[in-house]
Each structure stands twice: as structure tokens, then as C-alpha cells.
Amino acid sequence: MEKRPETGFYPADILLPAKDSDLERFAVIACDQFTSQPEYWEKLEGFVGDAKSALRLILPEYRLSQSEKAVPEIHAAMEEYVSSGALSPRVQSGFVITKRTTKSGTRTGIIGKIDLEKYEYRKGAKPLIRATEGTIEERIPPRMAVRRGAKIESPHILILIDDAGRTVIEPAAEKAQAGEKLYDFELNMGGGHIAGWALTDAAELERIQGALLALINEGDENPLLFAVGDGNHSLATAKACWEEAKKELSESERLTDKRRYALAEIENIHDDALIFEPIHRIVKGIGAYDMLDKLHDYAQKAGFTISMSGKASNTSQKITIIGENGDVTLYLTGSGLAPLAVGTIQAFLDDLTNENDKLTVDYIHGEDALRRMAGETATGILLPAMGKSELFPAVIKGGSLPRKTFSMGESTEKRYYLECRALR
């Protein structure tokens, strides 16, 4: 399979917890969730206790300020888990088929490895595998510190394909479910239920490659096969580490080095259980009235108008400002708007925080969480959802979207760390 570089997505040697592991304590949610809700992670710590857990293999973003102490501990845990057999090879040169059930339904995915030579996150690049959001460069170095010395990786990266005919993932899942089941358990902290199967049948692995290639339209000058749905910054970190590492390698070494790849799960954007949720903003250090004044000032400068009546349409955008005294719904119109409401608001917030570095912005999944956090000196901005059908055309036409444009499901529906792959 390694001789077929056309797709950039291949079978992998995949590590999983030992068969007698407590999987409910091992699997934990993506590190970039609940960044403004440390109580979630504190409760998770209490639940995991002393059990072997992926919690020891990651750096939750709410702890980024503790990275100097945490990174060596993470590397030590990786070494110990592999040497003790707590993580062991369970799939050789194959995929893992996953079925994840949440309140949105059951989503199906395939876990394999992405060729980082086929991926780029920098603006304007048009490889087969593309970022869907703008990359915040300052978020990469702390993640690189973890990956540089890591013995293993475990992904929360979810990558989308546009497969209306359901030719890739769905037939593979049907085939896999007749074979070896690797796990079947409840995810902690309300994450739903997950089951996984090994897929190593050579004919089916070959069929998947062919089906992926068939999704590329003949004649496309810069075809897009994979769009990164979740974990943009984690994949960007893997790419940055690879670009750094390959400088020290010969051409032949670059072909086989494990760091050239990143483990990821691909899903079909047409999966009925895949829901796009908006990612809202909370601005700390400013009240709603002051925020509204700043927004009106910015609108005059940017070239759009603000009204308290109207409707969202192709020419107007609807947002809601949430403060301690309630909500204010606004309609934005004019030539100065970005293509999406999230882009208009992100540009405003970038301008606002450049002007006042005491203000901080966080990205919130879920309206209820946003409302709980809004108050006298923290203002919420409720944003509309992006349609799934808009994603691939938007990325093809304009490159990456504004950062934190959409979320694949709510916070508790994010990918949990479970599968791992050796980096050395």
C-alpha cells in the first residue's frame, strides 16, 4: 500500500490498550475542549484516578501554562505504557473502523495514517489534504514540544471526505463488522458509546484506495480530497514537526520515517449523524454595552451597518450579543462583511484585542455553556451554524475558513483518544 501515494491516506500499525484495560477510564476527550471549564477536567481527573489513561498522554489546553512541567511527564508516561504493554500492537497494516453513537446518531469513521507530504496548512496552498480554518501560529509551539519527544501519537483529528454516493467508508464498515471487534464500551463524561473493528483484508484495503481516488474529479488542477474537520492545529503541529525533522534525513530515510505520517480518522460529510455546530465567542474583560459600542465603531470603519430588525440572508448576517441583562439580536448588512458571520465577527475581535490587550477571547461549544459564562465583564457572541454543503466549495474557492468556524458536533461529541501509533 505504501507504493500508492496518490490518496495520502493509508493503513497503519495501530496500538490499542491491552485487552484487560479499563477502556472507560483510558479514553478521554480531545485536548482542545472545555478550555474555559477546568471543572470538566478536574472531574475527569477524579474519575480516572490511578488507572492507565490517555489523560496522561496529552496536554489539555487549559493547562498550556504548565507545559514546562507537563511535557516530560507525558513523554515518561508514553515510554512506560509501551514498555509495560499497557499499549500494544493490535492492528498490523490495517485500518480501524469506528462507530460512535451520541445524541446526534451513529457516525462511522476509518482510522489510518495521513501522509504529511500531501497536507499543508499555510494559506494559499492547495494540496490533496487541506486545513479548513486559519492556523494560529502561536498555538503550535507548545504542541510541538509534546510531539518532538513523543514515542507515540494518539489523534483527535477528524478529516472529511465529500462522498455523496457513500462509496468509501460505508462499505468498509459493513465488511469490517464481519471480522474482529476491538472494543465496545461507553465513553466517560457523557461522550456516548463507541465500538471499533480491525480491517486488514488486502482486497478491501485496495478497494478503499480506489474509491478514494474516484472522488477526485478528472481535470481538477488542484483537487481537494480531504478537508480537516477537527484537530486543525494538531495536524498542523505534526506537519511542522515533520518539516523540522526531515531536514536531518536523507531522501531514502524520508520515505520510511514514521514521523512523516499522522494518525487520523476520516468521516463522510454526508453521514446523517454528522452535525455542524457553530463555535461561539466569549470576550472576557468587557461588558455587553461597551462591546456594542465597539462593534458599532468597527462597523463604520469596516463598511457595514447594524440593525436590530431584519433576517439572516445571502446579504445579511445575524448574531446575538449576550450579557448579564439579556440578549440583543443584531443584523449586519453591507459590502464590508466577510462571506460568513463568523468571519465578520472574528475580524472585529482581532481588531478589538489588538486595540486592548487586556481583553481575551475564548471559543465556546454550545449555547448553554456560553450563557453560563456571560456576565457583567464577559460578553458572549452567539453565532449561526454553517451548512455542511458549504464546506468543500468554500475551501476550494477561498482556502481556509476563519478559525473556529464550525464544530463537528457539540463538545461531548468530539473524538476521544484511544488508538495510538508509534512515532519511533
Determine what percent of the chain is predicted with pLDDT higher than 90: 77
- DSSP bridge pairs for 33: none
Which tens digit of pLDDT belongs to each residue from 360-382?
A: 999 998 899 999 999 999 999 99
**Which three three-digit cell numbers place residue 75?**
513523554
User: 188 pLDDT exceeds 90?
Assistant: yes
The predicted pLDDT at position 272 comes to: 95
pTM (2 d.p.)? 0.85
Which tens digit of pLDDT belongs to each residue from 294-349?
A: 999 999 999 999 999 877 777 799 999 999 889 999 999 999 998 889 999 999 99
Higher pLDDT, 218 or 97: 97
User: 3 pLDDT exceeds 50?
Assistant: no
Q: What integer is the mean pLDDT of 226-250? A: 95
The predicted pLDDT at position 124 comes to: 79
Average pLDDT score, the chain: 93
> Are the C-beta atoms of residues 226 and 110 closer than 8 Å to each other?
no
Cα–Cα distance measured from residue 50 to residue 28, given in angstroms and rounded to the nearest whole number: 14
The predicted pLDDT at position 4 comes to: 45
Q: What integer is the mean pLDDT of 210-238? A: 89
The predicted pLDDT at position 219 comes to: 67
Range ranked top by mean pLDDT from 162-166, 274-278, 410-414:
162-166
Q: What integer is the mean pLDDT of 214-220? A: 81
Q: What integer is the mean pLDDT of 98-109? A: 96
The predicted pLDDT at position 340 comes to: 86
User: 423 pLDDT exceeds 70?
Assistant: yes
Which tens digit of pLDDT belongs to each residue from 60-69?
A: 988 888 888 9
User: 2 pLDDT exceeds 60?
Assistant: no
Q: Lowest mean pLDDT: which of 7-11, 125-129, 268-272, 286-290?
A: 125-129
Q: What integer is the mean pLDDT of 198-219? A: 92
Cα–Cα distance measured from residue 405 to residue 338, given in angstroms and rounded to the nearest whole number: 12
Range ranked top by mean pLDDT from 289-293, 397-401, 411-415:
289-293
